[in-house]
Structure 1
Amino acid sequence: MSGEGPSLRERRRAETQRMIQSHAMRLFTDHGYDATTVNHVAKSAGVSTMTVYRHFPTKEDLVLYDRYDPLIAAQVAARPPDEPLVRRIGQTLVEATRLALGPTDSGPSPSPEKDLLLARLRLMINTPALRAHHLDSQFATQKAIVDALLGDTPDPDLEFQTWVAASTCLAAMHVALMKWAQEDGHPDLPTLITQALTAAFNEDFN
């Protein structure tokens, strides 16, 4: 039924995806992206190669895939409709990042989600094939945001403005993510994204 949380099947699927991706990231980090095959990932995760491909259609997806586009789309659609587009999108990206990272460093142990994101970013920075594939991933996020904001009957002018706002906000976020990865995840990522948005639009996003 609508309004309920994910079903048991959906939770199990998400758990399997996280488990496979965790094994993949460990192998990519320890042995290198190019030297690690999908078969290696399947063997490490204790699943069949077909199962890996069922969850991750390409090897690049093992690094770049995340589950945040639906979350971002839902959050951006839920913000006040009278907000300026860039604030509506930008604040959503900051809050979605904070939620995705889980507990802060002040907790008893580092966040697994933070460690996974940091490892993914490091691989993306150092692997040309992943940098190219990242453009497809970012386009999918842009489209999720635009579709959530426009609904079924978009106005052409508003559609253009929304694509511009979404792409600019995501570009600012990308710069913040790269800086965060280069500094080994020590800065507060939501704060970095806020600073990047402020610099991009010359207005306060706090």
Structure 2
Amino acid sequence: MKQQTQSDQGRTVPGLRERKKARTKAAIQREAVRLFREQGYSATTIEQIAEAAEVAPSTVFRYFATKQDLVFSHDYDLPFAMMFQAQSPDLTPIQAERQAIRSMLNDISEQELALQRERFVLILSEPELWGASLGNISQTMQLLGEQVAKRAGRDPGDPAVRAYTGALFGVMLQVSLDWANDPEMDFAATLDEALYCLEDLRP
């Protein structure tokens, strides 16, 4: 049985099995974040998370290799990279970034977006997670740098690319910090407006 179909617009639509897996993974992470916020990251066990998500502990590890993976997620890295590179070559890197981010956020449900905010708030409130997030930040910045360099036709180590990537990530981090303090903030609109301020910056 085919697990993927094509929509009328040519987009790949996940099959039943993939959708079920995605729901299970989302449920596990949602319950994990809730328990982490309620009783603390260190005090929460995998067994408690499995019970709350109504799955076996082995199922939790099937989707998340480590406890930290329940908080840190790279699920959006590859889709974003593909969206970014798919943008018109006539667009500047920041215009392509804005368009790719808008497309990605349009595909995320309100519930999923709220979960991402909860994850970020959790990282800020737990020293152990904040320290561990440095590796996650480095990985994200490396991905951004590689994608920008590819579009600009430069080496990822080019000082201009590195400076541009740092500015881009700095804006995204600042908006995320503001969002953590203001759950009513329109994250998508605020981020897009902030990134617009980088329009004159070129890698």
- What band does the TM-score fall into relative to the shorter chain? 0.7 to 0.9
Q: Distance in 1 between matches of 2:163 and 2:64?
A: 30
Task: Tell me: CA distance 1:34–1:186, structure 2 relative to 1, closer, same or farther (3 Å).
Answer: same
Task: Tell me: CA distance 1:4–1:114, structure 2 relative to 1, closer, same or farther (3 Å).
Answer: closer
Task: Tell me: CA distance 1:7–1:148, structure 2 relative to 1, closer, same or farther (3 Å).
Answer: farther
Whether the 8 Å CA contact 1:86–1:165 is kept in 2: the answer is no
Q: Which residue of 2 aligns with 1:127?
A: 126
Task: Tell me: CA distance 1:113–1:84, structure 2 relative to 1, closer, same or farther (3 Å).
Answer: same
Q: Which digits, 9 at most, give the CA deviation of each residue in 1:14-34, with x for residues without a partner?
A: 111101011112211221222
Task: Tell me: CA distance 1:48–1:162, structure 2 relative to 1, closer, same or farther (3 Å).
Answer: farther
Q: Which residue of 2 aligns with 1:32?
A: 40
Task: Tell me: CA distance 1:64–1:70, structure 2 relative to 1, closer, same or farther (3 Å).
Answer: same
**Partner secondary structure for residue 83 of structure 1:** coil
Gaps of 5+ in 2: none
Whether the 8 Å CA contact 1:74–1:148 is kept in 2: the answer is no
Superposition pairs for residues 85-124 of structure 1, below 5 Å?
85-100=93-108, 102=109, 111-124=110-123
Q: Which residue of 1 aligns with 2:170?
A: 171
- Give the TM-score, by structure 2 length: 0.78
Gaps of 5+ in 1: 103-110
Task: Tell me: CA distance 1:86–1:202, structure 2 relative to 1, closer, same or farther (3 Å).
Answer: closer
Whether the 8 Å CA contact 1:125–1:131 is kept in 2: the answer is yes
Q: Distance in 2 between matches of 1:115 and 1:149?
A: 28
Q: Distance in 1 between matches of 2:76 and 2:54?
A: 26
Q: Which residue of 1 aligns with 2:57?
A: 49
Give, in angstroms, the shift of residue 163 of structure 1: 5.0
Q: Distance in 2 between matches of 1:114 and 1:158?
A: 30
2:82 aligned to which of 74, 77, 98: 74
Q: Which residue of 1 aligns with 2:180?
A: 181
Q: Which residue of 1 aligns with 2:190?
A: 192
Q: Which digits, 9 at most, give the CA deviation of each residue in 1:51-91, with x for residues without a partner?
A: 21221112121122252222211210111113222322243
Task: Tell me: CA distance 1:66–1:22, structure 2 relative to 1, closer, same or farther (3 Å).
Answer: farther
Q: Distance in 1 between matches of 2:23 and 2:177?
A: 27
Question: AA paired with 2:21?
Answer: R
Q: Distance in 2 between matches of 1:7 and 1:113?
A: 20
Whether the 8 Å CA contact 1:176–1:193 is kept in 2: the answer is yes
Q: Which residue of 1 aligns with 2:138?
A: 139
Q: Distance in 2 between matches of 1:112 and 1:76?
A: 24
Instruction: Tell me if 1:10 matches 2:10.
Output: no
Q: Which residue of 2 aligns with 1:105?
A: none
- Give the TM-score, by structure 1 length: 0.77
Q: Distance in 1 between matches of 2:147 and 2:19?
A: 24
**Partner secondary structure for residue 5 of structure 1:** strand
Percent identity, aligned pairs only, is: 27
Give, in angstroms, the shift of residue 186 of structure 1: 0.8
Question: AA paired with 2:121?
Answer: R
